[in-house]
Homo-oligomer: A and B are copies of this chain.
Amino acid sequence: MALPRIPRERSLTYGLVESVGQLIVTGAYDVQPFPTEGELSRQHGTSRSVTREAVKMLTAKGLLQARPRQGTSVTPEAQWNLLDPDVLRWLLERKFSLQLLAEFTEMRLAIEPAAAALAAKRADREAIGRIREGLERMKAAGQGEDEPVAADIAFHTAVLAATGNRFFAQLDPLINTALRISIRFTNRIKGRAAGIAHHEEVLDAIAAGDAERAALAMRSLVGEVLALITAASAQPGTARKAARRTALT
């Protein structure tokens, strides 16, 4: 039996991508210009090869652009590939804003009901089984920190996978990232019991093959999250507290 084998992902290069990526999204280079390759190498104690490869990866994610004699620079925020899981994670963890979370949730509100409808239409037994599994885990989970979140995420992941559509499935890492943040935020405000009822309704509708009801149920589920977020952002002070809570390190 093959071991799960932990992927490395902790080479100097990947480490540099992480650090510099986080620095970029937090706006560290909004005032001072982005350093040249040489400086960047010196600052992080890496060779130029490593630096260049990290810069190239960040370029592929749309965060940087480089031209000879002009130097490397941070691209305008509008060009960042927000749909890259790394970029979204850096933004949500390092530069959290209720505004950003709200915008993402608006997109979830477009995507997830459609996903539930597709899943219902497709009615793949095995896939539905995995959705049910996620729900059971949610119900069984205690008041710990990690397991309820993981179960909730597993539910949404299973729904996206059940669409049989590669693009919906691709949104999974993004929604996972955002959910981890989002749940941490909404759990304080609202108990989990109501949430479970909603999830149950989604599963029922999908299992029954009722696309329209599945979409409606999912819409009300996500819509409630969005309502919580927008309500919180209207209330001054909450944003700062939320940022503190979600910040890691």
Contact = CB atoms under 8 A, between A and B. Distances in A.
Interface of A: 7-8, 13, 17, 49, 52-53, 56-61, 65, 67, 78, 81-84, 100, 103-104, 106-107, 109-111, 113-115, 118, 163, 165-171
Contacts of A111: 107, 110-111
Given A84-B81, A106-B165, A56 B13 contact: yes
Given A57-B57, A166-B103, A84 B82 contact: no
- Majority secondary structure of chain A interface residues (helix, strand, loop or mixed): helix
Nearest to A103: B165
Q: Which of A7, A103, A111, A118 has its CB near the most chain B CB atoms (within 10 A)?
A: A103
Given A106-B165, A109-B114, A170-B83, A8 B53 contact: no
A110 B103 contact: no
A82 B13 contact: no
A232 to B, nearest CB: 18
Nearest to A85: B81
B109 A167 contact: no
A107 B56 CA distance: 30
A27 to B, nearest CB: 15
